[in-house]
A and B are shown apart, each in its own frame.
Chain A
Amino acid sequence: GENVEQHPSTLSVQEGDSAVIKCTYSDSASNYFPWYKQELGKGPQLIIDIRSNVGEKKDQRIAVTLNKTAKHFSLHITETQPEDSAVYFCAATTGGTSYGKLTFGQGTILTVHP
């Protein structure tokens, strides 16, 4: 089955710096890659997603890149702010016989220091 590895597990940056979180996946049939942000005491919320026919997607300060050959995708947050502090999860959806199966990474705790 699909395996999603996420790094780093914790990330600490100064306000205004950039933050990058990386994920690798194992199933070459994976075709949908969402990123979720989870604030303390709340459920995860989608912040950006990318499909396998696109290499990069940007939404204001957040961008995601996908390298299908290397089977990895990354979340980039620029000009970080304290409110970006949260747990971030990547995920990958497989096709084939496991159609629509979403597998999550282990999560990254991002702390943005003012």
Chain B
Amino acid sequence: NAGVTQTPKFRVLKTGQSMTLLCAQDMNHEYMYWYRQDPGMGLRLIHYSVGEGTTAKGEVPDGYNVSRLKKQNFLLGLESAAPSQTSVYFCASSWDRGRSPLHFGNGTRLTVT
């Protein structure tokens, strides 16, 4: 089992460009999450999904969109990248919301210049 796989691992964007981060999990988990990690701020929830076809906003959703067309995939989109979105992005999945372990991918390091 691969667990949670994120692509790409690294990306550099210019301000205003768009991109999609891909997340795939092979554990048949219902719940999936996108977090961003910034120095000294821990992990902050961007968006999450409680099942195929559903999405919901987290703490810091502005500037991001998500889609969950298939249970195993959760996509994070940046329509018009800004320098403030420079961060490390982590995808995670779990079988229960908030009361079971999160399984994280290894992250995508995004730099917006």
A binds B: yes
- In the assembly, what is the distance between CA of A50 and CA of B99, in Å? 10
In the complex the two chains form, is A102's CB within 8 Å of B98's CB?
A: yes
Residue B112 at the chain A interface, CB threshold 8 Å: no
Q: Number of contacting residues on B, CB 8 A?
A: 19
Residue of A nearest to B4 (CB): A43
Q: Interface readout for B1-43 with A: 1 if CB under 8 Å, 0 if not?
A: 0001000000000000000000000000000000000001111
Q: Which residues of A contact B4 (CB under 8 A)?
A: 43
A-contacting residues of B (Cβ < 8 Å)? Answer: 4, 40-45, 90, 92, 96-99, 101-102, 104-107
B-contacting residues of A (Cβ < 8 Å)? Answer: 4, 6, 9, 31-32, 34, 36, 41-46, 49, 51, 89, 93-94, 99-102, 104-107
In the complex the two chains form, is A32's CB within 8 Å of B43's CB?
A: no
Q: Supply 15 further A-B pairs (C-beta < 8 A) apart from A42-B107, A101-B98.
A: A9-B40, A34-B101, A43-B4, A43-B90, A44-B104, A46-B101, A46-B102, A51-B99, A99-B98, A102-B98, A104-B43, A104-B44, A106-B40, A106-B41, A107-B40
Could you say which of B98, B102, B105, B107 has the most chain A C-beta atoms within 10 Å of its C-beta?
A: B98
- In the assembly, what is the distance between CA of A6 and CA of B40, in Å? 10
Contacts A41-B106, A43-B107 known; A100 to B42 CB distance under 8 Å?
no
Q: Which residues of B contact A105 (CB under 8 A)?
A: 42
Q: Which residues of A contact B92 (CB under 8 A)?
A: 43
Given B41, B43, B44, B98, which contacts A44 in the complex, CB threshold below 8 Å? B43
Q: How far is the CB of A82 from chain B (nearest CB, A)?
A: 22
Q: How far is the CB of A17 from chain B (nearest CB, A)?
A: 25
- In the assembly, what is the distance between CA of A2 and CA of B98, in Å? 13
